[in-house]
Amino acid sequence: MRRIAAEVGVQVGALYNYIPDKQTLLFDLMQEHLEALLDALADNPGAAPLNRLDHFVRFHIRFHHDRSDAVFIAYMELRNLTPENFAKIEALRKRYEDALEAIIEAGRDAGAFHVSDTKIATLAIIAMLTGVTTWFRSGGRLSLNEIEEQYWQLVRGALGVSSEAP
Amino acid sequence: MRRIAAEVGVQVGALYNYIPDKQTLLFDLMQEHLEALLDALADNPGAAPLNRLDHFVRFHIRFHHDRSDAVFIAYMELRNLTPENFAKIEALRKRYEDALEAIIEAGRDAGAFHVSDTKIATLAIIAMLTGVTTWFRSGGRLSLNEIEEQYWQLVRGALGVSSEAP
DNA sequence: CCTTGATCTGAACATCTGTTCAGTTATCGT
DNA sequence: ACGATAACTGAACAGATGTTCAGATCAAGG
Give the dihedral sign, CA A65/A69/A74/A77: positive
Per-residue pLDDT at A47 exceeds 80:
yes
First to last CA, chain B: 52
Residues of B with Cβ-Cβ distance to A119 under 8 angstroms: 141
Angstrom distance, B14 CA to C1 C1': 29
Nearest residue by alpha-carbon distance to C1' of D21: B13
d(CA A121, CA A159): 8
CA-CA distance, A40 to A17, in Å (whole number)?
Answer: 30
Residues in chain B: 166
- Count of C-beta atoms within a 10 Å radius of residue A152: 17
A160, B160: Cβ pair inside 8 Å?
no
Residue A4: pLDDT over 90: yes
Q: What is the pLDDT of residue B62?
A: 98
Burial B141-164 (b: 16+ CB within 10 A, else e): eeebeebbbbbbbbbbbbbbbeee
> Considering only CA atoms, which of A83, A68, A79 is closest in space to residue A130?
A68
Return d(Cα A33, Cα A112) in angstroms, integer.
Answer: 32
Residue B56, judged by CB atoms within 10 A of its CB (0-12, 13-18, 19+), counts as buried
Taking the C-alpha atoms of residue A56 and residue A100, their distance in angstroms, rounded to an integer, is 7
CA angle A157, A133, A49 (to 5 degrees): 35
Contacts 24+ apart (CB under 8 A), B68-73: B68/B133, B70/B29, B70/B30, B70/B33, B71/B33, B71/B130, B71/B133, B72/B133, B73/B26, B73/B29, B73/B30, B73/B33
Residues of chain B positioned with their CB less than 8 A from the CB of A160: 157, 163
Q: Is the pLDDT of residue B41 over 50?
A: yes
Confidence of residue B39 (pLDDT cuts 50, 70, 90): very high
CB contact (8 A) between residue A154 and residue B150: no
Indicate yes or no: CB of B121 within 8 angstroms of CB of A150: yes
Residue A2: CA count within 13 A, CB half-sphere: 0
Nucleotide nearest to A11 (CA to C1'): D9
pLDDT of residue B165: 47
Chain A CB contacts of B142 under 8 Å are 117, 120
Classify residue B44 as left (phi > 0), alpha (psi -120 to 50) or beta.
beta
| The pLDDT value given to residue B2 | 97
Mutation to test the A interface, candidates B119, B128, B163, most A Cβ within 10 Å = B128
Q: How far is the CA of B46 from the C1' of D19 (A)?
A: 52
* B129 Cβ contact list (under 8 Å, min separation 6): B57, B60, B61, B64, B151, B155
- pLDDT of res. A162: 75
Chain D positions with any atom < 7 A from a protein CB = 7-12, 17-22
- What's the pLDDT tens digit per position in B69-79? 999 999 999 99
Helix (H) or strand (E) holding A122: helix A118-130
The pLDDT confidence band at residue B166, using thresholds 50, 70 and 90, is very low
**What is the distance in angstroms measured between the alpha-carbon CA of B25 and the sugar C1' of C8?**
20
Q: For A48, phi and psi rounded to 5 degrees?
A: -70, 135
Do B124 and A151 lie within an 8 Å CB cutoff? yes
Is A158's CB within 8 Å of B155's CB? yes
Residues of A in contact with B135 (CB under 8 A): 123
Distance separating alpha carbons of residues B77 and A84, to the nearest angstrom: 24
pLDDT of B162 higher than 80: no
Region B138-160: mean pLDDT is 97
Nearest-10 Cα torsion for A145, A148, A152, A155: 170
Contacts of A157 in chain B (CB under 8 A): 114, 157-160
Alpha helices in B11-160 (DSSP H): 12-15, 22-40, 49-66, 68-76, 83-109, 118-130, 132-135, 144-158
**B143 pLDDT exceeds 90?**
yes
Q: What is the DSSP letter of B112?
A: S
Percent of chain B with pLDDT over 90: 97
* pLDDT, chain B, mean: 96
Report the distance from CA of residue B28 to the C1' of nucleotide D5 in Å, as an integer: 56
Which residue gives the smallest C-alpha to C1' distance to D6?
A17
- Residue-wise pLDDT for B99-142, tens only, equals 999 999 999 999 999 999 999 999 999 999 999 999 999 999 99
Chain B interface mutation, best of A154, A155, A163, highest count of B Cβ atoms under 10 Å: A154
